[in-house]
Amino acid sequence: MTAATLYIIATPIGNLEDITYRAVRILGEVDLIAAEDTRHSLKLLNHFGISKPLTSYFDHNQQIKGERILNALRQGKSVALISDAGTPCISDPGYQLVRDAVAEGIPVIPVPGACAAVAALSASGLPTDNFTFAGFPPSRQGKRRTFLAGISSLPGTLVLYEAPHRLLETLSDIREVLGERQVIVARELSKMFEEFIHGSASEVIDAVSQGIVRGEVVVLVAPGEVSEQESEPLENVLLRLMASGTLSIKDIAKQASVISGVSRSEAYGEALKLKYNTD
């Protein structure tokens, strides 16, 4: 065990057997464990017979607690950062603490393990040589559609996280913005009721609509078909985006620029013309 070191330790995403021997050893040796939810993490630690000082570190206290954790590291103590499940800093709190530790020359050591995004991708059957992990989409529809349009032309598989109560809304927006691509919903990964739902966007929406979705969800979207010889005309892109009725001219121009490859100013000018002619 190295003093004055911050360990970033991945924990299981469901099945407790998915923790590594190294993670268990280091958790039992550090001076302090910083956890997203101390009550949740205590169950994990008790399962492996680990008894160490715990402190909370989550979105709403990370500025205050981050400084306290840095002080512990400055004093030569070793600290382990864990999240409720999976790898810390991946759509979870932690990157600010890592950034500040690195800036002060404090060693930061990752202890690899479970990650829902990678686990889902590996079993999805979608291309894995090129993918984009985009985290959680915005919760509001307008911003979510802008977000989806912004990543629509990226090459490779798209990997998203989503809360179960927003899954249907997000799938509907995926169909609206990205079209009928192949979609996979992976839920309850590594748990008893693990499930992969495959199909077109519409087929997956129909399947998900049949029951209640529980647990965190990974949504994977197949790469779009890109033709170098033939791209959708700018006017068609603008009209399609304007038809939603939820986006401002500025947002429409931003999305159209990404989709069609023209400059944002050109897209904005054409959008104004179309709006004026329509009105």
What is the structure's pLDDT at 229? Answer: 41
pLDDT at 278: 62
For 17, the 3-state DSSP assignment is helix
DSSP three-state, residue 254:
helix
The residue with tokens 């999305």 is 255
Find where tokens 């169950």 sit: 43
DSSP assignment of 95-137 equals HHHHHHHHHTT--EEEE----HHHHHHHTT-S--SSEEEEESP
- Write down the domain spans for the chain: 6-114, 117-221, 234-278
Tokens of 211: 């029951």
- Please give the Cα distance from 46 to 11 (Å, whole number): 14
CB atoms within 10 A of CB 45: 20
pLDDT per position as a tens digit, 197-222: 999 999 999 999 988 888 889 999 99
Closest residue by Cα to residue 157 from 182, 139, 180: 182
- Residue in the block written with tokens 């090129």: 130
Angle between helical axes of 201-208 and 167-178 (0-180°, round to 10)? 170
pTM of the model: 0.78
pLDDT score for 171: 97
CATH T-level assignment (fold) for domain 117-221: 3.30.950
Q: Measured between alpha carbons, how far is 52 from 227 in angstroms, rounded to an integer?
A: 57
* Radius of gyration from C-alpha coordinates of the chain: 22
End-to-end CA distance of the chain: 70
Give me the chain's average pLDDT, please.
90
Other CB atoms within a 10 A radius of the CB of residue 212 amount to 7
Q: Does domain 6-114 have CATH number 3.40.1010.10?
A: yes
β pairing state of 157-162 and 131-135: parallel
Q: Tell me the C-alpha distance between 114 and 85, whole Å.
A: 8
Query: For residue 67, how many other CB atoms are within 10 A of its CB?
Result: 12
User: Between the CA atoms of 255, 258, 259 and 260, what dihedral angle is there, to the nearest 10 degrees?
Assistant: 110
Beta strands in 207-268 (DSSP E): 217-221
Instruction: Please list the ranges in the chain whose pLDDT falls under 50.
Output: 227-230
